[in-house]
Amino acid sequence: MSESRWIWEPDAEWVARTNVHRFLTRLGFRCAEEFLRYSREKPEEFWGELEREIGIEWFAPYERVLDASGGAPWSRWFVNGKLNVAWNCVDRHARGPRRDNLALLAETEDGATRSLTYAELYEQVNRLANGLRAIGLKKGDRVALCMPMVPEVAVILYACLKLGLIAVPIFSGFGVGAIRTRLEDSGARVVFTAEESVRRGKRLPLREKVEQAAAQLGALERVVVWPPADLLSDATEVASLPLDSEDYALILYTSGTTGKPKGAVHTHAGCLAQTAKEIYLGFDHRDGDRFFWLSDIGWMMGPWELIGNHHFGGTVFLYDGGPDYPGPDRLWRMIESHRIDTFGISPTAVRVLMKHGGDLPGKYDLRSLRLLGSTGEPWDETSYLWYFEKAGGRRLPIINISGGTELIGSLVLPLPIQRLKPCTVGGPAPGMATEVVDEHGKPVRGRTGYLVCTKPAPSMTRGIWGDPQRYLDAYWSRWDGYWNHGDWASVDEDGYWFVHGRADESMNVAGRKVGPAEVEEALIEHPAVSEAAVIGVPDEIKGEAIVAFVVPKPGTDVTEQVAANIAAHVVETLGPTFRPREVRPAPELPKTQSGKVVRRLIRQRYLREPLGDLSTVANPEALEAFGGG
């Protein structure tokens, strides 16, 4: 890649002011490369230094950083240490000099704004913690929240963590079926929701949807519609419970290729160390920062931004509404009016904004911005450069991170002291022994391979909720001792890393990951459908779109109207994000001798790509019906 392809390079003054520069200098390193190599080769030493650098407060000190005696998949971190995320993120700030600092600043689609200082957040968290304790919830119980992106999500989250309850965030845009699956799998005793959500001026019932999902679930005892007056009456201070470093804090759901969604389990120490590390080193947190990531509490980035920023007493800006409503300038206007320092967004959202005209961000004063962020899916160069030039004025680095729900953090990210190429994810994140390997597990450069992690890290999920074997099968079974992340990636001749999408069959629609099995289950629930297969195909706006193929039940004709009804059923079950772009009938699905649907070949046939070896397909003639993309 030619020298002209470097689009951003920090000067010496910029570098000297960064947290990562001060940290690596304190450790005796001269450059980012030496520091990153150390963090990969000596992870136990690195994470010990890191937790001291970012100031995690412990109720009781840990005995050792890492115990991998049970094997890499079952590694234990900060062994026997006692802490609590709620103490680190709320209590200590409310009792100290940051008590009057803003913890949360929020705006809704109608323009109404609200804010909570750390003292106010602390009071509300205590009130709810008292209420949760009064209804009999105890350490280890699961509490779900299916809420708009409003300040109450932080109140619920920290009240749960304070008591040792396990929080289960669920995307408020999901349909009834997807919400029910997550409530049932987690065994939540309580779910919090709101009466409604608002998108582009339309009021969408939320309580009604959650109540339908919750109906007849044995473990679920209560649907709580905010504000729950009976749970907020006692303002007595509640001490955050001293929890073991390995005690569970969160169950975050992600989708795989087969089966129901996977509940990734995260610990108090793991999620705090990882999220705070990324905010501190990757996003260069400074006192007074206002951090805004366009997200939902049900996606990893919601808990990530709250915990990571609140650990330092920073301000998180929340927006609940459409990014281009009531006009395409909505995000830029909010950045200007609220003086946002760090702004993060998905490539899909950028492509939506680009349609409204390239010069719109330039009409607003965005000089408060110091860093841009992005995640969720691979970039295309046109959209990346638009974001860099129009939103950042060519003066700000894009900290383009890639990791996942299973990590509540990143495998790769660019540090703010490294120069950038378009679309790069920089390289291995500090403390993450990330590698790109071929099918034999050997490192490769200059071509696409599999993104893996060769050593454990504190925030790796401690398993799939209720299914430890599925955890091993999903992440640790392909190469001995390697975490298989399921993404394609490459490293170029200059050592810069790029992520190219999913290596498995799961789909990434507008930055939202969904497994084919979950969509196919929704399709088969429709009375006209006997079998179904779905694939992800390139989409100009969403990055990837869903195309569904259905085998009609005998005597059923999948007309254009029936296909529309089937698509509507998917929306009702999973939410509008996952509406299939097409629903096409097929006489049969191509399968292997063992009966497995060959989605890879369906996709290749649909996109008119060479099919290659068909020897494992029992009915290769069936592929003829899938052409035409």
Closest CA relative to residue 432, chosen from 589, 544, 270: 270
Residue 1 has a pLDDT of 36
- Give dist(CA 405, CA 266) in Å, integer: 10
Strand duo 512-514 + 507-509: pairing: antiparallel
Looking at residues 578-598, what average pLDDT do you find? 85
Length of the chain: 629
351 vs 250: which has the higher pLDDT: 250
- Cβ 574 vs Cβ 540: under 8 Å: no
Q: Could you tell me if residue 215 is inside a domain?
A: no
Residue 258 has a pLDDT of 63
143 by DSSP, 3-state: which? strand
pLDDT band at 616 (very low <50, low <70, confident <90, very high): low
Q: What is the pTM of this model?
A: 0.88
User: How confident is the model over 549-574, as pLDDT tens digits?
Assistant: 999 998 999 999 999 999 999 999 99
For 612: left if phi > 0, alpha if psi spans -120 to 50, otherwise beta; the answer is left
Q: Which range among 135-144, 180-189, 536-545 shows the weakest confidence by mean pLDDT?
A: 536-545
Closest CA relative to residue 438, chosen from 377, 493, 479, 404: 479
User: How confident is the model over 204-214, as pLDDT tens digits?
Assistant: 999 999 999 99
Which contiguous run of DSSP H or E holds residue 535? strand 529-539
Residue 170 has a pLDDT of 96
**Residue type at position 50:** L
- Cβ 171 vs Cβ 575: under 8 Å: yes
- Could you give the percent of the chain with pLDDT greater than 70? 97
pLDDT band at 18 (very low <50, low <70, confident <90, very high): very high
Residue 593 has a pLDDT of 61
Residue 510 has a pLDDT of 87
Q: Could you tell me if residue 555 is inside a domain?
A: yes
Q: Could you tell me if residue 234 is inside a domain?
A: no
Burial of 95: CB neighbours in 10 Å, binned 0-12, 13-18, 19+: middle
Q: What is the dihedral of CA 207, 213, 219, 220, to 10 degrees?
A: 0
Q: Could you tell me if residue 103 is inside a domain?
A: no
* End-to-end CA, the chain: 33
- Cβ 89 vs Cβ 308: under 8 Å: no
Looking at residues 307-324, what average pLDDT do you find? 97
Question: Which structural domain, as residue segments, surrounds residue 547?
Answer: 507-626
Q: Could you tell me if residue 60 is inside a domain?
A: no
Joined together, the tokens standing for residue 444 give 């490769």
Q: Could you tell me if residue 588 is inside a domain?
A: yes
- Cβ 385 vs Cβ 521: under 8 Å: no
H-only helix segments in 345-408: 347-354, 381-386
Q: Determine how many CB atoms are found less than 10 A away from the CB of residue 112.
A: 9
H-only helix segments in 345-467: 347-354, 381-386
Q: How does the average pLDDT of the chain come out, rounded?
A: 94
Joined together, the tokens standing for residue 548 give 């569904």
Which contiguous run of DSSP H or E holds residue 519? helix 516-524
Closest CA relative to residue 520, chosen from 549, 497, 543, 540: 549
- Could you give the percent of the chain with pLDDT greater than 90? 82
Residue 205, CA atoms < 13 Å, CB-side half-sphere? 9
Domain count within the chain: 1
Q: Could you tell me if residue 544 is inside a domain?
A: yes
pLDDT band at 226 (very low <50, low <70, confident <90, very high): very high
CATH code of the domain containing 583: 3.30.300.30
Vertex 247 angle, CA 242 and 248, to 5°: 125
Looking at residues 494-516, what average pLDDT do you find? 85
Vertex 95 angle, CA 94 and 100, to 5°: 45
User: How confident is the model over 243-278, as pLDDT tens digits?
Assistant: 999 999 999 998 766 668 899 999 999 999 999 999
Q: Does 453 have pLDDT greater than 80?
A: yes
Looking at residues 85-101, what average pLDDT do you find? 98
Looking at residues 7-36, what average pLDDT do you find? 97
Residue 502 has a pLDDT of 78
- CA dist 359 to 318, 331, 354, 574, 616, Å? 25, 14, 9, 35, 53
Q: Helices 118-134 and 152-162: crossing angle, nearest 10°? A: 60
Exposure string for 314-344, b = 16+ CB within 10 A, e = fewer: bbbbbbbbebbeeebbbbbebbbebebbbbb
Joined together, the tokens standing for residue 36 give 């990153």
- Cβ 209 vs Cβ 197: under 8 Å: no
Residue 594 has a pLDDT of 56
User: How confident is the model over 378-412, as pLDDT tens digits?
Assistant: 888 989 999 999 999 999 999 999 999 999 999 99
Joined together, the tokens standing for residue 523 give 């399709």
- CA dist 621 to 616, 618, 624, Å? 13, 9, 6
- Give dist(CA 398, CA 24) in Å, integer: 21
108 by DSSP, 3-state: which? strand
User: How confident is the model over 169-205, as pLDDT tens digits?
Assistant: 999 999 999 999 999 999 999 999 999 999 999 999 9
Q: Could you tell me if residue 552 is inside a domain?
A: yes
- Give dist(CA 180, CA 188) in Å, integer: 11
H-only helix segments in 200-281: 207-214, 268-277
